[in-house]
Structure 1
Amino acid sequence: MSEFERIGPEPARLLMEQGATVVDIRDPHSFANGHITGAQHLDNNTLTAFVAGADRDQPLIVCCYHGNSSQPAAAYLADQGFARVFSLDGGYELWRQQFPEQIAQPDPHK
């Protein structure tokens, strides 16, 4: 397995301010009900296109529910040639607690 780093929400937020990409690997329903602002949903259906089109030199932060499932996903993406891959410790749940203003919510009018 290739290398990735585990980071908490605060260093992840700083990386995002510097242009890091955030991918959320939770199920589509959970992602639709709220996610880190600017995150892209990534699943088996979108993975190939994402890997093919992504800038592999930009930092990449992988987010799941609590920071467990994101670790093997981060290792996989590092194996695909991404230079700097991070797994978000605490996942979406900890991010939501620490940065509630940086959560994209569903539009209640849809």
Structure 2
Amino acid sequence: MDFTIISPKEVTEKVLRKESFFILDVRNKDAFSDWKIEGSRVEHLNVPYFDLIDGVDKIAGQVPKDQDVLVVCAKQGSSEMVAQHLVDAGYERVFALEGGMKAWSEFLHPVKIGDLKEGGSIYQFVRMGKGCLSYFIETDGEAIVVDPARTVDAYIDFAKERNVTIKHVVDTHL
């Protein structure tokens, strides 16, 4: 394997740093038109996986060789096959999204947005793939999570990293 598996976190960092990269999205056209990875310097080409089973010759002129190419699919498997086709066709900067768009849709990126007067911090968790926001407020070794996503591992892991205990969860969307 000559391509690299890249995590949703790494893709998020590229988007936030406004790095230029090209995405070859191999999901069906309707899935692509519903939502995709977006960024100010991200270019896309959507060609369904089934059209690339025998190789990438027919799209070679549409995929740049001089920049990073990220191949994405629904869950990872199809993007690995297409990424390997790209490598076999002479592409050198090829990546496949770990966990596919499913993982992208669930990834939460914490951003510190403020400090509390009496000590503590407020973090906004950005769900990059869906544009949803939640909050993690911590003080005195305790935290509250506001409007959590349904996948909670990011909050639990973040609390462990910060050495705080999540004491409360509030959902304002009910």
Pairwise same-fold verdict (TM > 0.5): yes
% identical equivalent positions: 24
Aligned to 1:101: 131
* Structure 1 residue 49, shift from structure 2 partner: 5.6
Report if aligned partners of 1:15, 1:59 keep a CA contact under 8 Å in 2.
Answer: no
Question: For residues 67 and 100 of structure 2, what CA distance do their matches in structure 1 show?
Answer: 20
Cα distance 1:27–1:53, how it changes in 2: closer, same or farther (>3 A)?
A: closer
Q: Tell me the CA shift for residue 101 of structure 1.
A: 2.4
Structure 1 residue 56: deviation in Å?
0.3
Counterpart-to-counterpart distance in 2, 1:81 and 1:13 = 27
| CA deviation string 1:27-66 (max 9, x = no partner) | 1121122222253212328x55641143202000000001
Q: Name the residue aligned to 1:29.
A: 30
Could you tell which deviates more after superposition, 87-96 or 29-38? 29-38
Question: In the aligned structure 2, how far is the partner of 1:23 from the partner of 1:13?
Answer: 16
1:67 corresponding residue in structure 2: 76
Runs of 4+ in 1 over 6 A off after TM superposition: none
- SS in structure 2 of the partner of residue 58 of structure 1: coil
Distance 1:49 1:12 in 2: 27
Q: Is the 8 A contact 1:19 1:58 kept in 2?
A: yes
Unaligned runs of 5+ in 2: 108-127, 133-174
More RCO (CA 8 Å, sep 6+): 1
The CA RMSD measured in Å over matched residues stands at: 2.2
Structure with the bigger percentage of helix = 1
Q: Is contact 1:66-1:93 (8 Å) kept?
A: yes
TM, length-normalised to structure 2? 0.51
- What TM-score, normalized to structure 1? 0.76
Please point out which of 33, 39, 45 is paired with 1:40. Answer: 45
C-alpha distance in 2 between matches for 1:14 and 1:101? 15
Count the aligned residue pairs. 100
Structure 1 CA distance for aligned equivalents of residues 66 and 102 of structure 2 = 27
Unaligned runs of 5+ in 1: 103-110
C-alpha separation between the residues in 2 aligned to 1:15 and 1:48? 28
Kindly provide the amino acid, as one letter, of the partner of residue 65 in structure 2: R
Q: Give distance in 2, aligned partners of 1:42 and 1:15.
A: 23
Greater C-alpha Rg: 2
